[in-house]
Amino acid sequence: MSYENILVHTENGIGTITINRPKKLNALNKVTIQELHNAFTTLNNDPSTKVIIITGSGEKAFVAGADISEFANFSVEQGAELARNGQEILFDYVANLSTPVIAAVNGFALGGGLELAMAAHFRIASHTAKMGLPEVSLGVIPGYGGTQRLPQLIGKGKAMELIMTAGMMDAQEALACGLVNHVTAPEELLDLAKKIASKIMRNSSVAIAHAIKAVNDNYTDGVNGYETEITQFGVCFGTEDFKEGTTAFLEKRKANFPGK
Ligand code: COA
């Protein structure tokens, strides 16, 4: 599939999506959001893709936010629809994918950019990264899950301060508060993402998908995550991966998971 604003590359079981509007600091316009939806769907449905990495092109930005030029004249209804549609087709969609998604934050991750990174299952960053939710400086609030995911990741007080001040965190601050898991040099960022991906790929992709669901249910209103864990734990016992994993352990060999 060919895209206007993103690049998709698959190699050795890793799908890398690069948002490619560097002149606009990779801002998320409508076309880009739809293309990201399509690319995530294609990679998630491809059984040979075991991990997805999302990053931005150029040295300056991961994503500098939703494209402000597209919504500056929106009405109340259009504003709500923008947030609803975006959450549905991209942000919640990514968070709930069964394939692990790593955000490699290579520069500014602001507004929708940080929201996209937070929708990924975890984040790593280059030491040039700067992260924030500056929406209140535009007279609006984060609309792609930022008011929910930032407090989950860094705690309510810190999230309130970052949102209210429209401030930016550098990579070290983000590391210290758990917003990102690792910080590295810009030229080593993708290699680090791939190194982590290759560790993930040694394990059962089926079990990982169940683990993602169980962890996510901890944060889903009205759902008892412990119950989900019990159910998903049980389901694993019926999978070929479970048979292979336990047999390989008992036979003192490396597991070769069929991914079923
Ligand atoms: N939406 C639309 N265009 C954006 C954008 C966004 N969120 N962020 C950056 N751009 C565009 C700029 O308009 C500029 O385009 P132009 O060259 O056609 O004028 C280009 O990207 C480069 O940005 P510029 O502002 O010149 O770079 P800078 O280095 O001076 O500043 C930022 C970088 C990230 C601090 C600044 O671009 C910024 O504040 N962006 C908006 C961040 C934001 O509020 N995001 C939340 C949106 S809800």
Determine the residue type at 39: A
Per-residue pLDDT of the chain (260 residues; tens, 9 = 90+): 789 999 999 999 999 999 999 999 999 999 999 999 999 999 999 999 999 999 999 999 999 999 999 999 999 999 999 999 999 999 999 999 999 999 999 999 999 999 999 999 999 999 999 999 999 999 999 999 999 999 999 999 999 999 999 999 999 999 999 999 999 999 999 999 999 999 999 999 999 999 999 999 999 989 999 999 999 999 999 999 999 999 999 999 999 999 99
Which atom of ligand 1 has the smallest separation from the CA of 111?
46
Tell me how far the alpha carbon of residue 180 lies from the centroid of ligand 1, in angstroms: 23
Sheet strand arrangement including 108-110: 61-63, 108-110, 130-132, 169-170
Take atom 22 of ligand 1 and give the residue whose Cα is closest. Answer: 24
User: Which residues surround ligand 1 with Cβ inside 6 Å?
Assistant: 24-25, 27, 64-69, 108, 110-112, 134-135, 138
Tell me how far the alpha carbon of residue 111 lies from the centroid of ligand 1, in angstroms: 11
pLDDT tens-digit map of 18-45 = 999 999 999 999 999 999 999 999 999 9
Tell me how far the alpha carbon of residue 52 lies from the centroid of ligand 1, in angstroms: 26
CA atoms of 198 and 50, how far apart (whole Å): 9
